[in-house]
Amino acid sequence: MSNVAVSPPASKPRAPLAHPSGDKRFKMLEVFMKRQQQRHDALIEVLHKAQELFGFLDTDLLLFVAHGLRLPPSRVYGVATFYHFFKLKPQGAHTCVVCMGTACYVKGAQQVVEALEQAAHIRAGETTPDGRFSLMTARCIGACGIAPAVVYDDAVAARQTPASAVERVKGWLDHGPR
């Protein structure tokens, strides 16, 4: 055996967890992931935490989570887009989620969405340019008994009509008081 000093096999350095931006929230997320022992099945909890800290999940953040849990980026993106709760774009100051589940749809949720789209001049899934209002849809929020249901910020409203929905969000669109 030669006595030439052999350097250890060049293993690929693990991606550093610390985020170069220095944003403290990344540190908090890192701590959270470590507390979950970086388990793969903690992905959903970690995404919840990330959204709680940042408001939405951008590509950079999803990659940070993928590195942190040592998961393929495609898995993280797939899970983040499967659940309506996770937002990949910044949300407006106020959000309105129209339930498009079967019961709500049958009871006219589509017309409610169309009325809101017209009132806000955006399409479902978008946020107004002033960042004040986001219009979203969801597949069944589990409130079929009060169909069609709409969630205004965090409050669920029953039996909505195009007129009642537009009335409810008017203040958010007119820059008026809440």
Partner 1 sequence: MDVGACRLCLVEIAGSNKLVPACTTQVADGMVVATTSERLQRYRRLLLELLFAERNHVCAVCVSNGHCELQALATNLGMDHVSFPYTFPKLEVDLTHRLFGMDHNRCVLCGRCVRVCWYVEGAATKNFSGRGAGSRIISDLNQPWGESRTCTACGKCVHACPTGALFEKGTTVGEMQKDRGKLEYIVTAREKKQWIV
Residue pair 19/65 in contact (Cβ under 8 Å)? The answer is no
43: left (phi over 0), alpha (psi -120 to 50) or beta: alpha
Count the Cβ atoms, other than its own, within 10 Å of residue 101. Answer: 20
Is residue 2 within the footprint of partner 1 (CB under 8 A)?
no
Opening angle at CA 144, ends 143 and 147, nearest 5: 100
Which residue, 88 or 157, is less far from partner 1 as judged by CB? Answer: 88
Is residue 63 within the footprint of partner 1 (CB under 8 A)?
yes
Q: What is the CA radius of gyration of the chain?
A: 22
Is residue 56 within the footprint of partner 1 (CB under 8 A)?
no
Task: Give the residue, chosen from 9, 72, 176, 177, that forms a contact with partner 1 under the rule CB under 8 A.
Answer: 72
Tokens of 48: 């919840």
Which residue, 45 or 58, is less far from partner 1 as judged by CB? Answer: 58
Task: Give the residue, chosen from 18, 24, 35, 78, that forms a contact with partner 1 under the rule CB under 8 A.
Answer: 78
- Give first-to-last CA distance, the chain, whole Å: 79
Which residue, 80 or 169, is less far from partner 1 as judged by CB? Answer: 80
Is residue 113 within the footprint of partner 1 (CB under 8 A)?
no
What is the binding site for partner 1 (CB under 8 A)? 59, 62-63, 66, 72-78, 81-82, 139
